Structure 1
Amino acid sequence: MYVRLYSFLSLSERHELLQQTETLQGSFVSSITSTGAEDYRRSTVLYDTAAWRVLMEQKIRPLLFFIFDSLGLPSFEPEEFELQLTSHSEGGFYLWHTDNGTDNVKRRRLTFVYYFWNEPKSFAGGNLEIQTETGVEKIEPINNSIVFFDSGLLHQVTLVQATTERQSHLRMTLNGWLRD
């Protein structure tokens, strides 16, 4: 089960995020997993996202009651908003995992994925798939939308096929977690 909101950032906020993404392209590093597993995730990430963390927290915090209620999750006051900027280029993926399955991330309760890129879209795939009691929910990336789900749900990012290496035209996400 998940909640998706559309047109999440204003045009100016999204434009600034895209410009910064292009500027910082050389600062992205290869992603890792909390378990250290190799060939389990292929993407690049930027961990220094303080300015965007503040904006996302300001946007998300007023929506928390609605999100928790819609997901059927007990509400809590987040002690921490964690955020990273992720880019999936050609061949990018992240196999089945949860976001709170190891000791260093066990306090994550709510996951969010904000999708953004410059048009025209220059990739295919990169769907978020979430395992539910009734099967697999397939969630296609939609520009300027955000998806929320329980951090304990098994999920993956399917293989990305990209036609460019320009950072801002790839499958870009601000991934975040709210910790209790």
Structure 2
Amino acid sequence: MRLQLEGGQEISLRLAENAPELMTLFQILGSRGGDVEPMEQFLQLPLEGGEAAASFHSRQLVSVITEPPVIVRLETPQAAHPAADRPAEAQPAVVHTPRYLVIEDFLSVDEHEDMLAYALQHEEEFESGTVEGKASPHRQNQVIMGFAETAHSRLLQNRLLTWLPHLTRELDLAPFPLRHVESQLTASNDGHYYRLHSDAGGDQAGARMLTCVYYFFRQPRPFSGGALRLYDVLEQGERRMPMTSYRELEPVSNRLLVFRSHVHHELMRIRCPSRQFADSRFAVTNWLISTDQPDPQAGFGWGQLRCGAVPAQFEV
């Protein structure tokens, strides 16, 4: 695609058809004219596979040229809000910056080394990562899908249950009854990435409340890149749209990173010169899943960590 800016400047770049940055560009152009207040913001778009960036203000954007053509339908204020006589300011657009929590040295030295030994010993069990069970160019890495049943996963899960009251409090999330913990071990090597997404999307993932990423790898770090970007979101009524602004967090071995699962995030491309499996960036991602029906007989963790939610049959 090509962006034409004021003064005749032109920028060429590649974006996926469903990239949120592309929709932002169309919305900026579509907001001009009529009675709608134009969208104005500072933009930064990736160039050369993320090795460089183009920075400019939305006021400078003149046109967007895509090859092949991308057809979009931009909602008018009337279509988005059926009450035509409702003033536009009744539902203002608000930008939210995602909250996150970092816990260093989450495991002991021996536990951390044992986690790395497990990953290296089970290299043959890793397979290509999928999106909702299907291969996708949206994601490139290697995973052990059944990792949740291992003793190593249970170690992390039970440690997370110990931290859960603190995690919910720090992330401004109401305590919730826990159904179970999903767990996935990933290995990311040269050229691997995971494009912008939200873990709470889709029918099967709707009950995900917290995303907890535990990093571990060889020292000194044998790769570069692999940062995790947490994107700001523009909220207007029930609509949530990721913006181009973000917080970027570097992977640090034996670090736990926690954020709410609806947060849009992206794994940046990794460069691993040796391309050896042992030099990968390893991570265990745990998703804490809520339930509407706490089970007082559950044996996992602290009785499913009901967090003060009393089952109906025990209410007075």
**What's the TM-score bracket when you normalise by the shorter of the two chains?**
over 0.9
Higher RCO (Cα < 8 Å, 6 or more apart):
1
List per-residue Cα deviations over 1:112-149 (Å, max 9, x = no partner). 11000011211111111011249301010011000000
Displacement of 1:57 in angstroms is: 1.6
CA distance in 1 between counterparts of 2:205 and 2:229 reads 20
One-letter amino acid of the structure 2 residue matched with residue 115 of structure 1: Y
Q: Does 1:43 align with 2:153?
A: no
SS for the counterpart of 1:48 is helix
Q: Which residue of 1 aligns with 2:251?
A: 141
Please show how residues 20-169 of structure 1 align to structure 2 within 5 Å: 20-34=118-132, 36=134, 38-49=136-147, 50=149, 51-133=151-233, 135-169=245-279
List per-residue Cα deviations over 1:124-178 (Å, max 9, x = no partner). 1111101124930101001100000000011010000012333343111001100
CA distance in 2 between counterparts of 1:28 and 1:80 reads 23
SS for the counterpart of 2:154 is helix
Q: Which residue of 2 aligns with 1:10?
A: 108
Displacement of 1:75 in angstroms is: 1.3
- Structure 1: which 5+ residue stretches go unaligned? none
TM-score by length of 2: 0.55
TM-score by length of 1: 0.94
Identity among equivalent positions (%) equals 27
Q: Which residue of 2 aligns with 1:19?
A: 117
Paired residue total? 180
One-letter amino acid of the structure 2 residue matched with residue 8 of structure 1: F
Q: Which residue of 1 aligns with 2:285?
A: 175
CA distance in 2 between counterparts of 1:78 and 1:168 reads 34
Task: State the Cα RMSD in Å.
Answer: 1.5
